[in-house]
Structure 1
Amino acid sequence: MDTKLSILGFAGSLRQGSYNRIILRAAQEMVPSGAELKIFDLAGIPPFNQDLENEPAEKVKEFKAAIRAADALLIATPEYNYSMPGVLKNALDSASRPYGDNALDGKPVAIMGASMGMLGTARAQYHLRQSCVFLNMYPLNSPEVMVAVAQEKVDGNGRLTDPKTRDKIAELLQALIVWARRLK
């Protein structure tokens, strides 16, 4: 029997009530049997400074170790100013440095995002995909999960309640598992 596929998820938002944290927790509830999803909190990763890349902070070491231990990644990104947030970009920069020590190299990755707007983080996700190319990651092309008008899809307890969104996230998880096993 196959061992459980390990997925590491992280949200590109530090806000506790973040819609992206909410959809990431929803994904954790829905992960299919045969896989597990652990969530890593990016809070505490310092701003990337190339002068210090050979002496990374403990939180960066933890992040890189968690990435390396995972078979696949699930990233939930907000959209700030038509792009991915600095928190996420900073974390990816830290995980990929110094040159020759890219923890993201060869990782299958699924991307999703939620926003209060009508485009559901489409632009941020496309910018993130551009970074995945340089980082030699293998992003899953479909399904795309772009949760628009997220505030209408969660309850007062921070739980994703929209059945169509939940179905789409479940579909994304299933496709990521197939993708990661194919790439192994």
Structure 2
Amino acid sequence: MPKNVAVLVGSLRSGSINRKLAHALEGLGGDKLTFENVEIGDLPLYNEDLWAEVPAPVTRMKRQIEAADGVLIVSPEYNRGYPGILANTFDWGSRPSGQSSFTRKPVGIIGATGGATGTAAGQQHLRLAAVNLGMIVMHAPEMYITWNSERFGPDGEIKSDDTRKLLQGFVDAFAAFVDKHG
């Protein structure tokens, strides 16, 4: 039976290459993984006062994370770090104290950018945040994707056999990781 993976995309832009990458990875999951995109763009900015009447998007997000066997974070890199939308998601998902939705969840991290170094620096910050959230982090293979027209089509379809092989290796490793730790 395939493992259920909650997908957090660290970009809200409709044409986001990381959203396209997440979709491409979903196509490689085969019979090992099913992917559920978790909407995080509708989460209010974290405010502890809101716990008095928990916003519906927060409840929905927490339930999706809790129901998943693993979490996949697909994120751009902003200013050598990760986007604030993910920090906000981590704040909501890790609270109230003692009720974190992220604890003991296996997590894989991947990201794409048009730049040569991919999302290497941002992913290091994400790995640290994930450890602090009590998640079980897949440290290898690390995957920093340089997005270009030789590798991907305009809608995110994988054009290069080498890229497909590389991404399939990541998905297969993540599936094994979730199977072991989920």
TM-score of the aligned structures, taking structure 2 as reference length: 0.92
Equivalent residue, structure 2, for 1:11: 9
Is the contact made by 1:7 and 1:71 (CA closer than 8 Å) also made in structure 2? yes
Aligned residues: percent identity?
Answer: 32
Show structure 2 runs of 5+ residues with no match. none
Letter in 1 for 2:32: G
Secondary structure of the 1:81 match is coil
Following superposition of structure 1 onto structure 2, how do residues 1-184 of structure 1 map, counting pairs within 5 Å?
A: 3-148=1-146, 150-152=147-149, 153-184=151-182
Give, in whole Å, the separation in 1 of the partners of 2:161 and 2:38. 25
Letter in 2 for 1:14: L
Question: How far is the alpha carbon of 1:167 from its aligned partner?
Answer: 2.1
Higher mean alpha-carbon deviation, 95-104 vs 29-38, is at 29-38
**Residues 34 and 157 from structure 1, CA distance in 2 versus in 1: closer, same or farther, beyond 3 angstroms?**
closer
Higher mean alpha-carbon deviation, 155-164 vs 116-125, is at 155-164
Secondary structure of the 1:113 match is strand
Is the contact made by 2:22 and 2:74 (CA closer than 8 Å) also made in structure 1? yes
Question: How far is the alpha carbon of 1:160 from its aligned partner?
Answer: 3.5
Letter in 2 for 1:7: V
Is the contact made by 1:96 and 1:103 (CA closer than 8 Å) also made in structure 2? yes
Secondary structure of the 2:108 match is strand
Question: How far is the alpha carbon of 1:26 from its aligned partner?
Answer: 0.3
Give, in whole Å, the separation in 1 of the partners of 2:40 and 2:180. 28
Question: How far is the alpha carbon of 1:21 from its aligned partner?
Answer: 0.3
Matched residue count: 181
Is the contact made by 2:20 and 2:155 (CA closer than 8 Å) also made in structure 1? no
Give, in whole Å, the separation in 2 of the partners of 1:9 and 1:95. 14
Give, in whole Å, the separation in 1 of the partners of 2:179 and 2:30. 14
Is the contact made by 2:20 and 2:156 (CA closer than 8 Å) also made in structure 1? yes
TM-score of the aligned structures, taking structure 1 as reference length: 0.91
Letter in 1 for 2:163: T
